[in-house]
Structure 1
């Protein structure tokens, strides 16, 4: 799990990268929660997602947004962080030119950035969003959502109410040609304290089914 430095739009970005052995291994980019509220690439949920993808044979990258850890720059209200994510994806693709598929995953603020990134990058085929802050940020740009994915939410999230995420999921699930899975973890708070193993199981199962199984993203029956 080597440390890497990526040339970002505001300077160097600090990252951690694990390269898969297969030449055409899929790739995944993991995005951390809000930089101004303690979010870093070492967040436990980010770490959990990172290793779930690695175990499924992905080349996977997590990194610190600008102004976090050893990453240069300063917080930029999401606009600069989206540019950081695009640069990180460019770096990941440069080292995996034969990648079979491309995924993005994020937690909280990182989920919001990840959903914006998939609107701009058509090569992203699937996503995982953990506790997307639908009550705090505008997700109306997902019109339509271009990729299938998984949304995971806890029932006792004190920051992002379950109802706001369900409203977002319901809106996305009625779009054509994509499938949105919604996994609800009973009793989980925003940081899935005490329930990271369940989050790990849910996300790795989804990755395995979509990436390696017979199931492929398709329209969800309503």
Structure 2
């Protein structure tokens, strides 16, 4: 998947946040934070959609950070319906420069899949509220933000929304409701289910083209 995979731990409100680090081939020019689906339904950082997002990031020269949410793998705590998970990701972003001082402006890319979209959207909103540096690339796949939203969110106009036409976990209509609410275009992959089986290469190429277009 990448030239090298390491692990690193940060400290959240519930304890350890255990993460995988996927390194690009050359010297990284920034980092990406990639968030996984629902922990109580088997979601973890090695989910194939998340690792596909990681491939796009590393091929673009970014160090990809894939945390396990609370209660998954070696990460401490219990599922907290996106509230605690959002706080943990903000703590990770705050602590990141102490490990990698060359990147003190936050992630260049923030992305989530399914439940991870809710956490990503609320992390983005919290960074906006704090007037902190914002990711230049914001990617949501299988958007389920409204299921776990506890604060207002205002995604940027260049957000990349991707949804499967035949998603039976988060119906396309639900993704469209979010897109309509925020007046965002959405890319719909024909015949794709929630986990984008058989469509992961398309997803990777979509994200890669988005990163190139943004100059991330």
1:51-200 to 2 correspondences below 5 Å: 51-94=55-98, 95=100, 96-97=102-103, 102-122=108-128, 123-125=133-135, 126-134=137-145, 136-138=147-149, 141-142=152-153, 144-146=154-156, 148-173=158-183, 180-200=184-204
- TM-score, normalised to structure 1, is 0.83
- Kept in 2, the 8 Å contact 1:124–1:147? The answer is no
Query: Aligned residue for 2:50?
Result: 46
- Kept in 1, the 8 Å contact 2:106–2:134? The answer is no
Mark the CA change 1:101 to 1:108 in structure 2 (over 3 Å): closer, same or farther.
closer
Deviation at residue 134 of structure 1 after TM alignment:
5.0
Structure 2 unmatched ranges of 5 or more: none
Deviation at residue 79 of structure 1 after TM alignment:
1.0
Query: Aligned residue for 1:4?
Result: 8
Local SS of the residue matching 1:2: strand
Deviation at residue 46 of structure 1 after TM alignment:
0.5
- Kept in 2, the 8 Å contact 1:112–1:139? The answer is no
- Kept in 2, the 8 Å contact 1:135–1:161? The answer is no
CA RMSD of aligned residues (A): 2.2
* Greater mean alpha carbon deviation, residues 88-97 or residues 31-40: 88-97
Q: Count residues with an aligned counterpart.
A: 204
